[in-house]
Structure 1
Amino acid sequence: MNNPLWRLFSGTVRGINQAMAYLSASLILVCSLVLVYEVVTRYILNISNDWVIELSIFMLIAATFLAAAHTQRERGHVGIEILDEVMSKRASRIRLLFGDILSMLFCGLVAYLSAVYCHEAWDQGWTTSSTWGPTLIPYFFMSLGMLLLTLQFIVQIVEGLMGKAPELPKHGHATTTSGQGG
């Protein structure tokens, strides 16, 4: 699509989703380090850290939701690969477009509802029941991640309607050294 405003929007969505993928990977790395810290302090130094598991859960929730849009951009979510093999390219494009529209509607609704829930949690000062008792910030990451996922679906839908063929998943297309399908 040659519209500069659209290119700016879709490029921004892609850039943000790429940044969120890096942030998600960093969160998983930090989560791993925090869990190693917990194991060392609990089993070697006999120090109890009741905040570690809760923090790890928060980081994994954030990592999961923030990486969802990037995963969708790569068409890395679970799909029925056999349909790509038995359907024509045109039928596969229509199937993907229909799936993207339904998914966009669902993710938009979840983004909205989780944002409302996040606002309630923040406004009413909800915290966890642990001794650490942090605010329920994972709701923010749920709403942000679902918003980014909704925006990614919008990019895919518009590009699909404008004739840009979606990149179909390349899973399960291994070849042997002789060049014959595996």
Structure 2
Amino acid sequence: MLQQALSRERPDLLEARWLAEDQVFHAPMLGTLMNRLGAVRAYPENALRLLDELRPVIVFPEGIQGLSKPFAQRYQLKRFGRGGFVKLALRTGAPIVPVAIVGAEETAPLFAKLPAGFLGLPYLPLTPPPLPARWTIRFGDPIGMGDLPPEAAEDMSQVQRLTERTRESIQGMLQALLKERRSVFSG
């Protein structure tokens, strides 16, 4: 949905690609499906290649944790991994554009996690068929790297500061969107 929203909002940009956990690509048929949907393995080299092509790169900093939240914790952001997306932005000078999405977490609430080690995945999410929910996507103000040099990617305090700034921006937009929303179904 985010990929489609971005293409509508910014038709002047090349098609965005999104990074997905490597383990997803090892599951039978799922890797092929993910590639066809526009996903790319979440390796720094892949992200750098996409940015060199001037493509927007969509990153989900919560990673697998974002998909494994119980329904009661929807829209409460989990920790943002190790800051790989910030390191990438620092190395390339690319801005980080925070994005908040409301509606997705009601579309497919997580009921349970089924063991899926045999598929190369930590678990299979047990969810109902997609439920009808109104989605709202908000793009935040870009977070630029300012005067920070590419070497700042090695400074974990800078990386953590920018990671937390991004997280706070997204969480603030989520709270604002939820406050504005009248209904899960009508927006």
Larger Rg computed on CA atoms? 1
| Higher relative contact order (Cα pairs below 8 Å, separated by 6+ residues) | 1
TM-score tier after normalising by the smaller chain length: under 0.3
Q: Which structure has more helix as a fraction of its residues?
A: 1
TM-score, structure 1 as length reference: 0.26
Q: Which structure has more strand as a fraction of its residues?
A: 2
